[in-house]
Amino acid sequence: MSDDHSLNIVDACRDKLPGFGWRMLSPEERGPRKPPRFLLGPIPEDFADTFFGDEVTPSCGLSTIEAVQFSGDRLLYRDGRHIFIFENGINDFTVNEALGQVNPVRDVVIDEEVVLLCGPGYSMYGHWIVDLMPRIGLLMAAGLDIRTLTYLLPEQLPRFAWDWLEILGIPRANVRTYHVTEDRCHIRKAIIPSNLRGYMRANSLMRDICSSFTRQVVGDRPPTRSHMLYISREHWGNATRRMVNADEIATRMETAGCKIVYPEKLSIREQVELFYDARALIGEYGSGLHSSVFAPADVPVVAFHAAEIHPAFLQSGLCDAKGQDCAYVFGALTGEHPHAFRVSTRDIDRLERFLPYLLKA
């Protein structure tokens, strides 16, 4: 949808407006979802409608925009209009959100072609795993040499992002930086890869792209499948989602044979190696567990999740793309603060009893 103040990039490309381009790399995918391997605990009332109602994975590819202005992490302008890219989370709501956080005081001219990994989430590890890294993979899928392209990224980029760029062989000299709140960039031509996922589903290209990233770390050796991992969020610091009996569950999972992992305490290479060699992945729903994309196909994944729709079920979409089974253990909301939940001892008992059969399968 477009108006006098905004323009959807899909409309611009469809109408062949000057300065806009689109190269599709994988078409839209439709069809019913693979159901979870199992569900334990109090299943959210709207789970079936939400989960199985998500029937579309958008197409993915590369957009180009000439003579575009860019500020923040998602504010794109051309001819005085905001450019929306719904597939990258750039829409009316997120643009209005960003407008209150950005106050450009300096104009920066970038008279060259640059890659923009634009959209919300550049500072969050989970968004790098499921959004920004796969966008770099799309450049590879398009036959481009990611080591020779020039990238425009915020100077406030977190350390783990720089580590990933180094692993992929992208020279720091190829990265132009800007201040995310104070700079307005005037770009001659921007290449903008799209997301590889929609709401909760991932395009089938995700499998090959994440496998390629994994090989950058582990090489061509086979996985050892030597350990079950329990992915903890104890030190994550995200108070918006809290499993209040996390210590109890971690102790139980360790007794059941899991290795407790705190991803934020490990290097990127250490994380990829651990996930690649896993027999099973268990943990609280979130960024850490999304690293299942580095584990082999057929590794089972079990996520502890509050008995509500938030934060949805993208983990299943990632697992589907990788050929992994995904299961959920729901915990009842406690009311202590929004999204706090507790998994019952009875459901932990059930999970423990089921683990040997899950591993055998």
- Domains in the chain, please, with CATH? 6-25+61-195 (no CATH), 223-360 (3.40.50.360)
Q: By mean pLDDT, which of 51-55, 237-241, 299-303, 351-355 is the weakest?
A: 237-241
pLDDT for position 238: 58
> What is the pLDDT of the chain when averaged over all its residues?
93
Lowest mean pLDDT among 28-37, 55-64, 238-247, 260-269: 238-247
Which runs of consecutive H residues, i.e. helices, occur in the chain? 9-14, 47-53, 92-99, 125-127, 133-141, 159-167, 205-218, 246-255, 268-276, 287-290, 314-322, 345-360
**pLDDT for the residue 53:** 95
Task: Classify residue 56 as left (phi > 0), alpha (psi -120 to 50) or beta.
Answer: beta
What is the model's pLDDT at position 1?
A: 45
Give dist(CA 164, CA 175) in Å, integer. 13
Helix axes 268-276, 205-218, angle to 10 degrees: 110
Residues 202-250: tens digit of each pLDDT? 999 999 999 999 999 999 999 999 999 999 988 766 557 889 999 999 9
Which pLDDT value is given to residue 13?
Answer: 93
| 59-111 pLDDT tens trace | 999 999 999 999 999 999 999 999 999 999 999 999 999 998 898 999 999 99
What pLDDT is attached to residue 266? Answer: 93
At residue 254, what is the residue type?
Answer: E
pLDDT of residue 357: 86
